[in-house]
Amino acid sequence: VEPSCLDKHESVQVEADLSTEKEKVLTGDRATGQLHLGHYVGSLQQRVKLQDMYHQTILVADMQGLTDNGHQPQKVASNILNVVADYLAVGIDPLKTRICLQSAIPALAELTMYYSNLVSISRLERNPTVKNEIQSKSFGRSIPAGFLTYPISQAADITAFNATLVPVGEDQLPMLEQTNEIVRRLNHIAGGAILTECKPLLSKVSRLPSTDGRSKMSKSMGNTIMLSASEREITKAVKSMYTDPGHLRVEDPGKVEGNVVFTYLDAFHSDIDYILRLKEQYRCGGLGDGTTKKILEECLQETLKPIRERRAMFIDDKAQLIDILKRGTEQAQEESHRVLTSVKQAFGLNLF
């Protein structure tokens, strides 16, 4: 039996300065589908650690999900509870983390409206992340206004919860820059520090690729291994995984770079030295894709089994999921309303 995959997951490193008062962390996910292995290595495992170190809020971003799904809103509505079940399944604890629903927090929409007066259209069009997304989503000339302006709505999300730390990948840094520009403008208007600038908590994990290796694993592209994947689905996904097309016979030397099986082994297997040795052997020749896939399959089966079982339990109790989400949302409504009030005051809009 190979070493357990789960050990590694237990030891994900997140640097925290425990000497200071707990900072506030905000993250979230668009409610556009079930969460997948990319979310697991890219953010969920980290959040499970963060909830013991900081005041953590997680936003189920249904309004943001609508910005490119206005024509198919049921895709968003039907996935809200799926996302909550995924959170609970991986160990996000509603007693430690506030889980809340974006569309049920009116202050977020209001703040977005106020902030949108502090940002120009050309600034939004220059945002490199949005620019890339617009290209890949092929909106043509019909970019939804809500999509172009979603960085403003993210600024509302971050500031509404006084978040000073935002876990992100490199590609999300422009969003935080945009937020901090808004914060500085608002503070300038207010003549004092109403809002606090946020800092990124940069994830060192690069984007997990899809099994075909062609793009990152993403809900919208239907190329995911979901946290709810059955044993058979996992087997099938690993079997179809992209390896090295030049590695035809077992004795041929193979390429590790760009070989999705090794990318996943790096991300999920607990024994780094063992994987290093496998890579060496693969490079020299004598290690077949059947064997590497078998090792990965066992590892993924072991990782996902407890998550799948917990998830099935939570998704069966919709009332409990709604209750958890509602409680978190009610707390979030209060806090965000206080921020909204001070922002309105900054604009002098506090007649009554």
Q: Which is nearer to ligand ATP, 38 or 94 (CB)?
A: 38
Cα(193)–Cα(214) distance, rounded to whole angstroms? 45
Spatial strand order of the sheet with 165-168 comes to: 97-101, 55-61, 24-30, 165-168, 199-202
The residue within the footprint of ligand ATP, chosen from 9, 25, 32, 87 (CB under 6 A), is 32
Q: Where are the alpha helices (DSSP H) in 127-172?
A: 128-136, 145-148, 150-160
Which residue carries 């993210």 as its tokens?
154
Report if residue 29 touches ligand ATP, rule: CB under 6 A. Answer: yes
Q: Which is nearer to ligand ATP, 180 or 211 (CB)?
A: 211
**Per CB under 6 A, which region of 16-24, 213-221, 245-253, 340-348 contacts ligand ATP?**
213-221
Residue 207 sits in the site that holds ligand ATP (CB under 6 A): yes
254 vs 226: CA distance, rounded Å = 29
CA distance 87 to 59: 11
Residues near 97 by Cβ (< 8 Å), separated by ≥ 6?
47, 51, 56, 57, 58, 87
Candidate ranges 5-13, 149-157, 210-218, 310-318; the one touching ligand ATP (CB under 6 A): 210-218
Distance CA 350, CA 342 (A): 9
Asked if residue 169 binds ligand ATP (CB under 6 A), the reply is yes
As a whole number of Å, the end-to-end CA separation of the chain is 69
- In the region spanning residues 59 to 118, those forming contacts with ligand ATP, defined by CB under 6 A, are none
Q: Which residue lies nearest ligand ATP, judged by its C-beta?
A: 42
Size of the site for ligand ATP (CB under 6 A): 17
Residue of 196, 220, 301, 333 interacting with ligand ATP (CB under 6 A): 220
Whole-angstrom Cα distance, residue 104 to residue 20?
A: 32
Tell the smallest beta-carbon distance from residue 56 to ligand ATP (Å). 14
The residue from 8, 23, 43, 114 that contacts ligand ATP (CB under 6 A) is: 43
Nearest approach in angstroms of CB 346 to ligand ATP is: 30
- Residue choice 39, 55, 269, 293 for contact with ligand ATP (CB under 6 A): 39
Produce one character per residue of 221-259: b if its CB has 16 or more CB atoms within 10 Å, e if not.
eebbbbbbbeeeebeebbeebbbbeebeeeeeebebeeb
One residue of 8, 38, 80, 346 binding ligand ATP per CB under 6 A: 38
Strand 165-168 versus strand 97-101 pairing type: unpaired
Burial of 146 (0-12, 13-18, 19+ CB in 10 A): middle
Which span sits near ligand ATP by CB under 6 A: 31-39, 108-116, 138-146, 174-182?
31-39
Could you tell me the smallest distance in angstroms from the CB atom of residue 341 to ligand ATP? 30
What is the spatial distance between Cα 57 and Cα 117, in angstroms, rounded to a whole number? 26
Contact status: 211 vs ligand ATP (CB under 6 A): no
9 binds ligand ATP (CB under 6 A): no
Give the Cβ contact number of residue 351 at 10 Å: 5
Query: Interface with ligand ATP includes 198 (CB under 6 A)?
Result: no
Piece of the chain touching ligand ATP by CB under 6 A; list 39-47, 174-182, 256-264, 296-304: 39-47
Q: Does 42 bind ligand ATP (CB under 6 A)?
A: yes
Q: Say whether residue 299 binds ligand ATP (CB under 6 A).
A: no
Question: Where on the chain is the footprint of ligand ATP (CB under 6 A)?
Answer: 29-30, 32, 38-39, 41-43, 169, 172, 207-208, 216-220
